[in-house]
């Protein structure tokens, strides 16, 4: 548990190289993305001040997003989402945004099974 808290803290409080995201990049990041291996959908609504992220998650019904954030690290936009709902207690997405393909790629941690999966989300609208 301490490791998860440390990862979340490091992600949300980083980074020495942090910078602002451009308006064009933010517009590309916003929208719906479908996970390539299932029916899981993320909607990025807005990138807010203080590195907060307004996001929604569906499978296919809404799943509560307990905490979400973003940052720029090594010229890469990264997002973080912690789900907090029935069957999703503390599930964590850590994703990087590819501006050319508009895909989100990264990992999904499922604490009930203590497993981490590689995941990709493709923009659908």
The model's pLDDT over 27-80, given as tens digits with 9 standing for 90+, comes to 889 999 999 999 999 999 999 888 999 999 999 999 999 999 999 998 899 999
CATH number of the domain within which 39 lies:
2.40.128
Predicted local confidence at residue 24, as pLDDT: 62
Number of domains in the chain: 1
Predicted local confidence at residue 13, as pLDDT: 47
For residue 98, pLDDT beyond 90: yes
Contact 65, 43 (CB under 8 A): no
For residue 26, pLDDT beyond 50: yes
The dihedral formed by the CA atoms of 47, 28, 78 and 33, expressed in degrees to the nearest 10: 100
Q: Which residue has the tokens 């590689």?
A: 118
Of 101, 97, 109, 104, the closest CA to residue 120 belongs to 104
Contact 70, 47 (CB under 8 A): yes
Which residue range(s) make up the domain with 9?
A: 2-123
């Amino acid at each position: 548990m301490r490791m998860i808290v440390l990862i979340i803290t490091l992600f949300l409080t980083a980074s020495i190289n942090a910078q602002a995201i451009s308006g064009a990049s933010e517009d590309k990041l916003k929208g719906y993305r479908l996970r390539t291996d299932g029916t899981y959908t993320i909607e990025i609504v807005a990138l807010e001040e203080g590195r907060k992220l307004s996001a929604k998650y569906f499978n296919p019904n809404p799943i509560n997003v307990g905490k979400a954030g973003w940052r720029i690290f090594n010229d890469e936009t990264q997002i973080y989402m912690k789900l907090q709902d029935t069957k999703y207690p503390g599930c964590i997405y850590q994703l990087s945004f590819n501006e050319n393909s508009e895909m989100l790629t990264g990992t999904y941690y499922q604490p009930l099974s203590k497993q981490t999966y590689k995941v990709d989300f493709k923009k659908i609208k």
